[in-house]
Each structure stands twice: as structure tokens, then as C-alpha cells.
Amino acid sequence: MPPSAVTSRASSDRLHKLGAATSGAIGGAFGIAALGIELPVSTTLILRSIADIAAAEGEDPRHLDTKLACLTVFALGSTRDKSDDAGESAYFASRSALATAVTEASRYLAEKGLSKGGAPALLRLVALIASRFGIVVSQKTAAQMIPVIGAAGGAMINTLFIGHYQDMARGHFIVRRLEKIYGTEPVQIAYEKL
């Protein structure tokens, strides 16, 4: 379908960011136990946002070529550097590390309490931040803060990654739109000059 045949409209970037942040917050609060549910949800939100941007740039999201282009955006690395071939895996690694840290800290706290020497990094961070503000951190307070930190971290990670993929999608689909109008070679020459 030619670009002019698809009705162009603004994408819902903020709505998708809010959904991804909410998903990350809920998943982050429950640690590794929620990872199997939260990752597919947040990944779907990111892909849905990419498809929404494609539609806003005149693509038909029902068309196979557009669907493949959306997957291509998700598979692109985080830079144009050839050595960066794992941009998308950073998202999964970040989410997994956060979930693991929250779960380990919660388990440690439940088994051994809050001790200075052997506490996992997340617990030490909570204690250090609290001491800076003159707050005495009991085991109960630390246990209550871990899900909050996990939720904030999950929301932040999801927001950063969806923003990154939205930017990449916008660039990718603008280039595709321009190629349909002017041809591949002139667009590629103009891109290389940038």
C-alpha cells in the first residue's frame, strides 16, 4: 500500500511509556518471581509502540513487510557501531539483573536479617541511603524498601528502553517513508552525509 493510502496520525508514545513503566514497576516490585510474566508484557508494549510509530509514519501495521520492519527495529543494536550486536539483549539483561537482585536481597533479609558484612548490594545500598538521611533502618524497613526500589528500578529501565526503541523506530520509519517517496539511493546518500 503506498504511503499516501494509509492515514497518518500521531503515535501514542506517552501512553506506551506509561504502560511500560507500570509494567516495570509491578514486575520490579515482585522480583524474579514476576520476570516470566513482566518481560513478555513489556516486550509486547515495546513492539506495539514500534508498530504505532510505523503507522504514524504511513505504514500499514497489518502488512507483513511492516511487521518485519518492526521486528528489525527491535533487533537493531543501540549504536551504529558494528561491534554492538547485542543492543536488544541489554534490555533483557537489565531486567533480569534487577529482578535477581531484588529476589536475592529479599531472601537474604528473610533468612539472615540486616547485617553489615554479608548483606547483598541492594540491601547495603538501602542502608547507606537511609543513613545519609539519618534514618535508622530496621530489618522490617529494609524489607519494605526492597520492593519499592525494585519497582522504581523496573519502571526506570522500561521507560529508558521504550524511549530508546521509540527513537529508533521513528528514525527507521522516517527513512522508509522517504525511500518510498525519493528512492533508496538518494536517501542513503543524504543519510551518509549526516
pLDDT digits (tens, 9 = 90+) for 103-158: 777 667 667 665 555 556 666 666 665 665 555 555 556 666 678 778 888 898 88
C-alpha cell at 62: 497489518
What is the mean pLDDT of the segment spanning 3-14? 66
Task: Write the single-letter amino acid at 11.
Answer: S
C-beta atoms surrounding 110 within 10 Å: 10
Whether 17 has a pLDDT exceeding 90, the answer reads: yes
For CA atoms 8, 14, 18, 24, the dihedral sign is positive
The structural domains of the chain, with segments of one domain joined by +, span 12-193
Cβ 72 vs Cβ 172: under 8 Å: yes
C-alpha cell at 85: 550486536
* pTM over the 0.85 mark: no
Tell which wins on pLDDT, 191 or 169: 169
Mean pLDDT of the chain: 76
C-alpha cell at 188: 542513503
Whether 43 has a pLDDT exceeding 90, the answer reads: no
- Please write the tens of the pLDDT for every residue from 68-104: 888 888 776 544 455 554 444 565 566 666 667 767 7
- Banded model confidence at residue 35, pLDDT cuts 50, 70, 90: confident
